Amino acid sequence: MTPIKIVEQTLRAHVIHDPNYKASREKTSQLTVLGLRLPVMYAIEKKEFPFYKDFDSTLIIWDQIWKRSTIHEAMTLVLMYAGRHINELDLKHWKLLQGWIDRVENWEHADSLCWIYSMMYERYPKAIEPTLFKWNKSKSPWKRRCSIVSTIYYASKNRTPPKRTTVFKLLEPLLSDTDEYVRKGVGWQLREAYNLWPKEALAFIEKHLTSLSATTFSYATEKIPKQTKQLFKIKRQRDRSRQRR
């Protein structure tokens, strides 16, 4: 039996009747959704499949499953495996991993992949940054989202932050993006930028107040002081009114 059949058969064997959860997952993806919850899938992946060998050989097999499976959960297992072995991923794996974005069509896979990309970007910024700038101009909304979300995947004292100038340079072209997931990504990254560089982030937000969608503004200002947020709202409404005249 091929690895993809082993994985898909194993997943199907764990399906239980959970129609509400399954329906909620189906709203986010055009893939076949089995409705398995994440703890179940984590347990399945960690058990090890019969095709598990050394890391590199196993990653190649998971790569083929990522490219060929049409089951949402099977693709999720690929990301779980790569995430569990994040410390073993290096530049020799980058060519393979950067191709995974081409199959992304839902935010769950996009953001799990962005976490992997962000960890690699932290280690190899000079090698990976050109790809992020290329994706930043892509027609694919998922590549545009990943170009920014892969820079700061939650600000943390345990992580080495990217260059502030790079983050804002990637954000600026997407401030008026029409895709809802890109807009959310821009807001998310501005919020995380505020955690790292509050003064600079506030200045950036204020400079671009009228360019931000309602979604982006809401995400971006989640953690700023209420008084500052209220002032931004007033200025944003005033400046937009002037632009309409």
pLDDT digits (tens, 9 = 90+) for 42-67: 999 998 899 999 999 999 999 999 99
Q: How far apart are CA 220 and CA 57, in angstroms?
A: 41
Measure Cα distances from 216 to 13, 123, 180, 188 in Å.
41, 29, 9, 8
Nearest CA among 63, 56, 89 for reference residue 78: 63
> Considering the chain, what percentage of its residues have pLDDT values greater than 70?
99
Q: How far apart are CA 28 and CA 9, in angstroms?
A: 23
Tell me what pLDDT residue 14 has.
Answer: 96
Taking the mean position of all CA atoms in its chain, how far away is CA 74? 18
Domains, the chain, in order of start with CATH, read 127-245 (1.25.40.290)
Tell me what pLDDT residue 219 has.
Answer: 96
Q: Are 175 and 197 in contact (CB under 8 A)?
A: no
Tell me what pLDDT residue 240 has.
Answer: 77
> What predicted TM-score, i.e. pTM, was given to this entire model?
0.95
